[in-house]
A = this chain, B = another copy of it.
Amino acid sequence: MKLLEERILKDGKISKGNVLKVDSFLNHQLDVSLLSEIGAELKNKYGDCGITKILTIEASGIGVGCMVAQFFNCPLIFAKKTKTINIKGDVYKSSVESFTHQCVYDIIVSKDFLTSDDTVLIVDDFLAKGNALNGLIDIVNQSGAHLAGCGIAIEKAFQGGGDKLRSKGIRVESMAIIEEMDCENGSITFGTRN
Contacts and interface: CB of A to CB of B under 8 A. Distances in A.
> Which has the most chain B C-beta neighbours within 10 Å: A15, A24, A75, A112?
A75
Contact of A29 (B27, B29, B77, B86): B77
Interface residues of A, number: 42
A49 interface: no
A33 B74 CA distance: 9
A1 interface: no
Nearest to A31: B75
Contact of A77 (B28, B84, B101): B28
Interface of A: 15, 17, 19, 21, 23-25, 27-33, 35-36, 58-59, 62-63, 66-67, 69-70, 73, 75-78, 80, 84-88, 100-102, 109-110, 112-113
